[in-house]
Structure 1
Amino acid sequence: MANLLEQLRKMTVVVADTGDLASIEKFKPQDTTTNPSLITAAAQMPEYQVIVDETLLQAKKDAGESASKAAILSLAFDRLAVSFGKKILDIVPGRVSTEVDARLSYDTEGTVKKAHFLISEYEKAGIDRKRVLIKIAATWEGIRAAEILEKEGIHCNLTLLFGLHQAIACAEAGITLISPFVGRILDWYKKDTGKDYAPAEDPGVLSVTTIYNYYKKFGYKTEVMGASFRNIGEITELAGSDLLTISPGLLKELEATEGTLVRKLDPANAATMDITKITVDKATFDAMHAADRMATDKLSEGIDGFAKALETLEALLANRLAQLESGVAVGAAA
């Protein structure tokens, strides 16, 4: 009997949620997603020190003698994300998601500018923009930035998505892909209610199912990629989703598990459902967001978390740059 991972690949595009190149080599996903936390983890692995060092030194050189340490580190982070992205694209046949600085989540203009820079770095390396998804938090401002980028042929992945209002706004803006966070929704409900949930009743699973059916019912082209899983039960309940981005640990568990995988999400079924269509303007978005405590809490928390992960990475890069500068000085003196 085929394992669950093999069966899942036949109905859903499997994406690896990691910045670790060895894991990507092992599981051979179609696409890969990264974020500041994953890049930070990868950057601390000894096997990637050369990538980090080369990126830091080049960023310092390109920033110029008068550049501040903050400017050098900001450039280095963007370049590092692209460096890992380029390595990943040597392995996967599809796309890589590269994230915009989470501190720009409420800044439409700043997000567009940062996305332009990231895409330019990929294109300078000879990589077609079609193979890159710019990852942006699904705030109203982030969705508006993504709408601008999509019209320019820059495809986007809207992340930190917890509510139907965010999903509808993304679809109406013509976004390429959304990443609803299954596990983080479950975390919130478990903490709020004190209950445990079976996979079929998991609030994160139910949220993604609702979004998927809404999209298919009304013919939206935006792809649904479930993300942030806590167990393989959540994954199997979403078999049939357009894509699922899965951590290496859960990919390994799926690969080691045999059984029959039943498709749970199907566009033909969604087409027959009685679903009310909602138009989401800013007032509706704000009202629905305010009424959804979970989405309000988790969006804010997620942005803060990614921002802190970025600050952690910047501190690591600053420390490493100081070591490199010290080494250069010693070498020069000798």
Structure 2
Amino acid sequence: MNSNSLAQSKLEQLKQLTTVVADTGDFERMKEFQPQDATTNPSLILKAAQQPNYQSLVNTVKAAHPDLNPTELVDYILVAFGLEILKIVPGRVSTEVDARLSFDTKATITKAKHLIGLYESHGINRQRILIKLAATWEGIAAAKELEAEGIHCNMTLLFSLVQAAACGAANAKLISPFVGRITDWHKAKLGANWSDANHGGANDPGVSSVKRIFHYYKHFGIPTEIMGASFRNTTQILELAGCDLLTISPELLADLSAGTMTVIKKLDAANAKAALSTEKIVPLKLDESSFRLQLNNDAMATEKLAEGIRNFCIDTEKLETLLSK
């Protein structure tokens, strides 16, 4: 840490250790935080599309494509927000494939190519786009084909090491393990037995999950980028300082900007091999039946993956309803 660290905000210090990504569809708000990349999802775009300051953007897209039905319009809305975001961030934007295709490899590939085509029709290089796919077996299979064609993928709704390992084996560009949702599940299960003193900070279940994935990837030399996501508080974020990337909501970015406490690097790729030497971690079996069994036997990951897909489906349908009016 440099001598000026105490005078810097926690966000500025974090940016020296980790690539900071804005997790929002509200591109006007992200400007103040100067993130490298940005991520969106159907829920975030639905939230943004309902704000008065984005009505002109939504109406412009609808007017430009009067013959499209609401389902077809969703892709154009997603890309319209992505194009505005790319005017702000110097790096990449993540745009999500319809969650209703999470168990259809062929349809996922078709949709991903359509989204890339829309961006490229506006002169955007595909290297600046990450196509978000649910980390189901079918989604991971789609990512393998897409990556082979130079279409990079962000594997989302990821809650377990076996999902992460399979994404790495498929050469996915990036994974987004969901910290907060993992913690939510454990907190609900423990109920009155949960305490922040025993289960927060470094012992937070969501934080621990990302650390395990980080160590596994770095230990075995897997180049897929790890981007912690779905944070509930800044403590979870700071416990993962040093992760490849962290995608953070505007609310938590604001909290990080307000404090100047020294930020300490918690994850270090150089130490990953040593960290695992006593754990005797071995590569996971990643054929389809082994993947499905390991995921099935992880109750938290199975439940949160299913719940996440359902909720994204619901919000996509709400966005369609909004566009139909």
Mapped partners of 1:202, 1:23: distance in 2? 29
Partner residue of 1:243? 245
Q: 1:82 aligned to 2:84?
A: no
Mapped partners of 1:48, 1:55: distance in 2? 11
Partner residue of 2:321? 315
Q: Report the alpha carbon displacement of residue 279 of structure 1 after superposing the two structures with TM.
A: 3.0
CA deviation vs aligned residue, 1:144-195 (integer Å, no higher than 9, x gap): 0011000000000000000000000000000000000000000000001111
Partner residue of 2:165? 168
Partner residue of 1:35? 41
Determine if contact 2:178/2:228 at 8 Å carries over to the other structure: yes
Partner residue of 2:150? 153
Q: Secondary structure at the match of 2:155?
A: strand
CA deviation vs aligned residue, 1:9-34 (integer Å, no higher than 9, x gap): 00100000001112221111000000
Determine if contact 1:136/1:142 at 8 Å carries over to the other structure: yes
Q: Report the alpha carbon displacement of residue 212 of structure 1 after superposing the two structures with TM.
A: 0.4
Partner residue of 2:261? 259
Q: 1:57 aligned to 2:63?
A: yes
Q: 1:100 aligned to 2:80?
A: no
Partner residue of 1:142? 139
Q: Secondary structure at the match of 2:154?
A: strand
Ranges of 4+ aligned residues in structure 1 off by more than 3 Å: none
Determine if contact 2:93/2:130 at 8 Å carries over to the other structure: yes
Mapped partners of 1:246, 1:298: distance in 2? 20
CA deviation vs aligned residue, 1:241-262 (integer Å, no higher than 9, x gap): 0000000000000111111111
1:1-12 maps to which residues of 2 (within 5 A)?
Answer: 1=6, 2-12=8-18
Answer with 1 or 2: which has the greater Rg.
Answer: 1
Q: 1:47 aligned to 2:44?
A: no
Mapped partners of 1:135, 1:3: distance in 2? 31
Mapped partners of 1:307, 1:57: distance in 2? 25
Q: Secondary structure at the match of 1:60?
A: coil
Mapped partners of 1:58, 1:212: distance in 2? 44
Determine if contact 2:285/2:291 at 8 Å carries over to the other structure: no
Q: Report the alpha carbon displacement of residue 285 of structure 1 after superposing the two structures with TM.
A: 0.6
Gaps of 5+ in 2: 1-5
* Amino acid in structure 2 at the alignment position of 1:43: A
Partner residue of 2:211? 209
Gaps of 5+ in 1: 64-71, 320-334
Mapped partners of 1:308, 1:42: distance in 2? 16
Mapped partners of 2:29, 2:53: distance in 1? 13
Superposition TM-score, scaled by structure 2 size = 0.94
CA deviation vs aligned residue, 1:254-283 (integer Å, no higher than 9, x gap): 111111111010011102222322231111
Q: Report the alpha carbon displacement of residue 316 of structure 1 after superposing the two structures with TM.
A: 1.0
What fraction of aligned residue pairs are identical, expressed as a percent?
Answer: 55
CA deviation vs aligned residue, 1:281-327 (integer Å, no higher than 9, x gap): 111111111110000000000000000011111111111xxxxxxxx
Partner residue of 1:299? 305
Mapped partners of 2:85, 2:189: distance in 1? 38
* Amino acid in structure 1 at the alignment position of 2:295: H
Partner residue of 2:106? 109
* Amino acid in structure 1 at the alignment position of 2:250: P
Mapped partners of 1:100, 1:177: distance in 2? 15
* Amino acid in structure 2 at the alignment position of 1:78: D
RMSD between aligned alpha carbons?
A: 0.8
Determine if contact 1:167/1:211 at 8 Å carries over to the other structure: yes
* Amino acid in structure 2 at the alignment position of 1:239: A
* Amino acid in structure 1 at the alignment position of 2:236: E
Give the alignment partner of residue 91 of structure 1, picking from 65, 88, 96.
Answer: 88
Mapped partners of 2:87, 2:31: distance in 1? 10
Mapped partners of 1:228, 1:90: distance in 2? 24
Mapped partners of 2:152, 2:237: distance in 1? 25
